[in-house]
Amino acid sequence: MKSIIAFPNLFGGIELSVSRIAFSIGKFEVYWYGLIIAIAVCLAVVLVLKNAKKYGINEDDLLNICLIGIIVGVICSRLLYVLGRLDRDWTFADILNVRDGGMSIYGALIGGFIATAIYCKIRKMNFLKLADLVVPYIALAQAIGRWGNFINKEAFGVPVNPNSIFSTLAMTSMKIGGNVAGSIEEELLKLGFVDTSLVATVNGNTFDYIGVHPTFFYESVLNLILFLVLILVARNGKYFNGRSLCIYMASYGIYRFFIEGIRIDPLYLFDTDIKLSRLLALISAIFFGTLLIIISILRAKDKKLFIKALLDEEETDIGKSDYKDLLVDKDTYVSENNTEETTEKEESEKDIVSEEEQSVDK
C-alpha cells in the first residue's frame, strides 16, 4: 500500500508516493526500513575492514567484533526502546517484532561498545584505537539508516511555523489542498497538535496542510557532516587514542539533544516526563566533550613546555633536562661530561703518539 509524503514549499512543491514494502518473497514482505538499515550496516563493515591495516588491527578480530557488536547492539537497541515505551502493554511477541521499527540508536551504541570493550579486554586489544577506526563509519551508517524513518513516516517533529526559515523543509503526508490525512496528521491529532479539521492555524493564518519538522532529515545531514569531519581527523594523524570517539560522542550528543527537543515521538525515562534519548544525549555531550577538552589542554600544555625548553635562552644540559627523552636519541646520546672525558682521552692519546714519533726521529 502506497502513501503520500509531500514537501509543499520545497522547489515549488514535491509530492512523493512511497510504499513500506521493498519487495516480496512469496508471502514474506521485505520492508524498506530493514533493507536500508542492513545496507548501511554492511557498507560500514566493508569500510571498517578496508581501513583496518592503517590501525594495525587484525581483520579476523574485526569480523568477530562486527558480528558480536551488531547482534548485541540490535538486542540492546530494542530493549532500550521498549523501556522507553512502558506506557504500552508489551508482549514477548511484540518485543521480538522489530520489522515495524522501534529501535533506539543509543541502545545500539551502548550495547555495541560494551560488547566490543569486553572482547578487546579478552583479546588484549586497544579498545580506544579500535573505536577511532569504527566511529566514522557508524556516523555514515546512521546518516543512511535514518531514511528508513522517512519511508515509515516516523521520527518527525512538531509542526513548523510557516514563517520560519525551516518552512521550506516542512513535511506532510496530506495531499496539498485536499482532505486526505496520512499517518503524520493522525499522529498530530492524537497528540493534540491539531483539531479534527486537520487544518493548521498559526499566528491567525490558516493553511490547508500541516508541515512538520523532518527531524530524520536533520539528523541524517548532521551525521553525514560528522562522518566527513571524523575522516579528516583520522587523515590528519593520531592525536591520542580515543580522540575520534570523543568527537563523535560529544558532537552527536549535542545535536541529538536539540533534535529530541522537537520530536513528537520521544522515549521517556520510566513514568517520568524526562525524554530518555535527550537525557543520554546530554550526558554524552557533557562527559565526552569535557574529556576531549581536558585531554587537549593537558597535551597542549605539555607541548608548550616542550617548545619553551627548546627556545630557552639559557644553555641547558640536555642530559639533565626533563625533556631529554624527547630531545635526543637514547641510542646515540652522549652527555657533556662524557664528551669532555672523550676529548681529554683523545688529547692524551695524541701526546703519546707525538712522543713516540719524536723518539723514532732521534
Percentage of residues of the chain with pLDDT beyond 70: 71
Tell me the pLDDT band of 251, cut-offs 50, 70 and 90: very high
Res 128: pLDDT:
92
* Residue pointed to by grid coordinates 590501525: 55
In a domain, 303, yes or no: no
Stretch 121-130: mean pLDDT = 92
Asked if residue 44 and residue 175 are part of one domain, the reply reads yes
Stretch 100-106: mean pLDDT = 82
**DSSP H/E element including 19:** strand 14-19
Q: Residue 259, CB half-sphere, CA atoms under 13 Å: how many? A: 21
Q: Tens digit of pLDDT for each residue in 226-247? A: 999 999 988 876 668 889 999 9
Asked if residue 216 and residue 337 are part of one domain, the reply reads no
Q: Lowest-confidence range among 91-100, 131-140, 186-195, 214-223?
A: 186-195
Res 1: pLDDT:
61
Cβ distance 241 to 128 under 8 Å? Answer: yes
Asked if residue 189 and residue 323 are part of one domain, the reply reads no
Q: Tens digit of pLDDT for each residue in 5-58? A: 888 788 888 888 888 888 888 888 888 888 999 999 999 999 999 988 888 888
Asked if residue 337 and residue 287 are part of one domain, the reply reads no
pLDDT of 264 above 60:
yes
Residue scoring higher pLDDT (296 or 341): 296
Please give the grid coordinates belonging to residue 77.
537497541
Cβ distance 308 to 323 under 8 Å? Answer: no
Asked if residue 353 and residue 258 are part of one domain, the reply reads no
Q: Which domain holds residue 284?
A: 2-291
Q: Using CA atoms of 239, 231, 126, 247 in order, give the dihedral in degrees to the nearest 10.
A: 70
Residue scoring higher pLDDT (300 or 91): 91
Tell me the pLDDT band of 202, cut-offs 50, 70 and 90: very low
DSSP at 126 = -
Res 311: pLDDT:
64
Res 15: pLDDT:
84
Stretch 337-352: mean pLDDT = 56
Enter the pTM of the model. Answer: 0.76
In a domain, 44, yes or no: yes
Percentage of residues of the chain with pLDDT beyond 90: 37
Tell me the pLDDT band of 199, cut-offs 50, 70 and 90: low
Asked if residue 338 and residue 257 are part of one domain, the reply reads no
In a domain, 336, yes or no: yes
Asked if residue 189 and residue 57 are part of one domain, the reply reads yes
Asked if residue 105 and residue 200 are part of one domain, the reply reads yes
Instruction: Quickly count: other Cβ atoms within 10 Å of residue 357's Cβ.
Output: 9
Asked if residue 334 and residue 279 are part of one domain, the reply reads no
Asked if residue 210 and residue 106 are part of one domain, the reply reads yes
Res 257: pLDDT:
96
Nearest to 171 by CA among 139, 223, 103, 218: 218
Interatomic CA distance for residues 256 and 275, integer angstroms: 12
Interatomic CA distance for residues 238 and 160, integer angstroms: 42
Instruction: Quickly count: other Cβ atoms within 10 Å of residue 66's Cβ.
Output: 19
Q: How many domains does the chain have?
A: 2
pLDDT of 323 above 60:
no
pLDDT of 279 above 90:
yes
Q: 76-90, 160-174, 211-225: which has the highest mean pLDDT?
A: 211-225
Q: What's CA 154's distance to the chain center, in Å?
A: 22
Angle, alpha carbons 144-148-151 (nearest 5°): 130
Residue scoring higher pLDDT (139 or 329): 139
Asked if residue 154 and residue 50 are part of one domain, the reply reads yes
Asked if residue 286 and residue 325 are part of one domain, the reply reads no
Q: Residue 35, CB half-sphere, CA atoms under 13 Å: how many? A: 13
Q: What is the mean pLDDT of the chain?
A: 79
